[in-house]
Structures are given as structure tokens and as C-alpha cells.
Amino acid sequence: QVQPVESGGGLVQAGGSLRVSCTAVRRTFSRSAVGWFRQAPGQEREFVAAISRSGGERLYADSVSGRFSVSRDNDKNTVTLQMERLKPEDTAVYFCATRSTILTVSPDVQAGWYEHWGQGTQVTVSS
């Protein structure tokens, strides 16, 4: 299974926390950069965060910087997006995307750079 699979998400009140995770087949996942994107109804898909293959480089959108944290555990074949101090405007379907890279390649903020996409998981933040 090359396609990543998201889990977690759900409904939370504004100011609360939530965690979403992404996993895929270990052989490819541990050699891949991973990006998180989100799409709200009627809006375009937007970049949220990304992490390099080694986990040494992380990128964040300005809108989530300081509130969201991306991490990975290649032994457990998982990338986690921890979301804190959630706002109603964070409500969206969150997608995980992967791209196989060599060790030194930085992740990208462009959706078109990624090769494989999950089906998404809904995150809803109530006011």
C-alpha cells in the first residue's frame, strides 16, 4: 500500500487540541517526505506543514506556526500533526501526502510536488 492513510481528527471546541496521524507501507514511508494540507468547503487546498524524510527539516504555514507541530517516527511508520489552540478557521479536511526523496531533499509547500495522497480526515472546530 503506497497510498498514505490518515487517522484521528474529529470535533473539538475552539482553543482545544487534536492530533491527526499519517501512515503507509514502511518501506516507502520511511524514505518519503510528508506534507499536510487542508481544504475547507468552497476553498482551495492549502499547505499546512511538512517534514523531511529524516525529520530534521520541518515547514509550517504562517497561519499555523506556533500552534501546530509535525513529527515523525519512522520505526512506527507514522507522521503526526499535533494541533493546539485550534480556531474555527482550522476547520477543514486534512490530507497527508508523500513523496519519495533522497535523504538531503527538503520538503515542499506545493501540493503538486507530492506523489501520493490520502483520502483525508475531517477536523471541525466549533466556536
| 32/23 Cα distance (integer angstroms) | 11
| 94/72 Cα distance (integer angstroms) | 17
Residues in the chain: 127
27: pLDDT strictly greater than 80: no
| Other CB atoms within 10 Å distance of the CB of residue 116 | 18
- The position carrying cell 499536510 is 36
49: pLDDT strictly greater than 90: yes
Confidence (pLDDT) at 37:
98
Is beta strand 92-100 parallel, antiparallel or unpaired with respect to 32-39?
Answer: antiparallel
pLDDT (tens digit per residue) in 74-122? 988 999 999 999 999 999 999 999 999 888 889 999 999 999 999 999 9
**What percentage of the chain has pLDDT greater than the value 90?**
84
Residues facing 42 on adjacent strands: none
